[in-house]
Amino acid sequence: MSRRGRALVGLITIVVVFVALILVFPRALAFVELAARELRYFWWLILMVALGIWLVWGWDRRKRP
């Protein structure tokens, strides 16, 4: 699978997991909305999202010739 294909699969996976979590835990959506309004207090949420993105796209990066 090419890099572009792997990135697309990762993006689709993130979207599917996000939608599934919202459907299963509707109160989580309210929490995320509150966090978006009050980023001063929930700055760690941004760090968790960034870590998740890094894990999806950056975990398997190796130097290849």
User: Domain boundaries in the chain?
Assistant: 3-58
Q: Read off the pLDDT of residues 15-63 as tens digits, 9 standing for 90 and up.
A: 999 888 888 888 877 887 887 787 776 677 778 888 888 888 876 665 5
Q: How far apart are CA 30 and CA 47, in angstroms?
A: 19
Tens digits of per-residue pLDDT, 16-28? 998 888 888 888 7
In this prediction the pTM is: 0.46
